[in-house]
Amino acid sequence: MLQWIHRSPQHWHGFINHEVCVTNRDQQRFEGRVFTVDPVSASVVLVSVQENECPSVRVILGHAVTDVQILRRGTEETERQMKSVFLPDRAQDLSAEELKSRRESVRLWLEKNRVPVTEDGELLCVANALTISAPYRPGDCSSASEIILSRIQSLVEKLPSPEENIPGHQAQLSRSNITSVLQTQ
Amino acid sequence: MKTPVSVLRLPRGPDPNSRGFDPSSPRFLALCPTSVPSSSSSSSDEEEQRLRAELRERFLRTLLLMTGKRVRFDMHEHVRVHARFGASDIDVLNLQVSDLETPLGVQREALLRCQDVIACSFEV
């Protein structure tokens, strides 16, 4: 019988979203719904399933796990509830028109600050180095370059709210600043 | 909130880095996985990689959620300590915490070895 830490990712993945009982070497038992199993350390992340309390999360380190038994299978509803604890607010909260207008305002703000940006469906592509996905908050920027990421993130953070968006609003970054940022990648 | 205790300067152990954090120590090398065990059939490599990435992303989100929160660490011999979680290293071998409440007092900053920790729990 293989040890827990030597199991395959497929085996670990099979436990996600199900209520399990994890036993450790001291015969202690931990119960909860599996959110994930870390492939590096085989640590099991359990979320409590009680309805009326605020959710609590327990991470059991892989080296301490001896056995994991499924008690109850989860459903799509339980998966959704569990995900809402961990993942940031979903973009589906905003309607299509709101997303479009938000995308437009972010794009105009970037263009005003001399940042080359193109639209690619629902994504905003900045200078082929960074993409912003819905709902276009600073946390939705992804890039391979740390420097570009931090510059664009702080820029998106400074996006003025609709009341402040007057035509003469000062751009945050000068042209030379932007070109030097994009050349460092 | 208890006042933090001053850092204890203990005498050096037998090895130059006897606290167990030295990356070239035999203990670290034995614990740190240098190669990733994969399934034998090559056709399912992509699938396995995809599963690994999904599992790891979820785990990283768990760590993100844990940062800055007051976490209870269950360790060996039924020892329980509370601390504010800071960060973990990439192989989940060490955990950086602040305001670790110990019987000796509150340690302002501390590093916990994951081999000593059985579980960590926190409220969302």
Does residue A22 lie in a domain region? yes
Question: Helix/strand/coil (H, E, C) string of A102-124?
Answer: HHHHHHHHHHHCCCCEEEECCEE
Please, are residues B74 and B80 in contact by the beta-carbon 8 Å criterion?
yes
Residue A18 three-state SS: coil
The tokens for A156 are 């998106």
B119–A6: do the CB atoms touch at under 8 Å? Answer: no
B122–A56: do the CB atoms touch at under 8 Å? Answer: yes
ipTM over 0.85? The verdict is no
Answer with the one of A86, A101, A127 that is the final residue of a domain: A86
Residues A8 and A53 in one domain: yes
DSSP run (H or E) holding B5 = strand B4-5
CATH of the domain at B96: 2.30.30.100
- Distance separating alpha carbons of residues B2 and B83, to the nearest angstrom: 13
Residues A62 and A126 in one domain: no
Residue B45 three-state SS: helix
Residue-range definition of the domain harbouring residue A22? 4-86
Does residue A64 lie in a domain region? yes
Answer with the one of A86, A104, A139 that is the final residue of a domain: A86
Residues A76 and A104 in one domain: no
* Domain count within chain A: 2
Does residue A176 lie in a domain region? no
**Residue B33 pLDDT grade (very low, low, confident, very high; cuts 50, 70, 90):** low
- Distance separating alpha carbons of residues A24 and A61, to the nearest angstrom: 10
Q: Of B52, B72, B78, B85, which to mutate for an interface test with A (greatest number of A Cβ within 10 Å)?
A: B52
Q: Please list the pLDDT of chain A residue by residue as tens digits (185 residues).
A: 678 988 889 999 999 999 999 999 888 999 999 999 999 899 999 998 777 678 899 999 999 999 999 999 989 988 888 888 887 655 456 677 888 888 888 989 999 999 898 888 888 888 888 988 878 888 888 888 889 999 998 998 888 876 554 454 455 555 555 566 566 55
CATH of the domain at A53: 2.30.30.100
A59–B119: do the CB atoms touch at under 8 Å? Answer: yes
Does residue B111 lie in a domain region? yes
Distance from CA of A84 to the nearest CA of B (A): 11
Please, are residues A155 and A107 in contact by the beta-carbon 8 Å criterion?
no
Residues A75 and A97 in one domain: no
List chain A residues with CB under 8 Å of B52.
9, 39
A36–B39: do the CB atoms touch at under 8 Å? Answer: no
Residue-range definition of the domain harbouring residue B115? 67-122
- Overall pTM surpassing 0.80 (yes/no): no
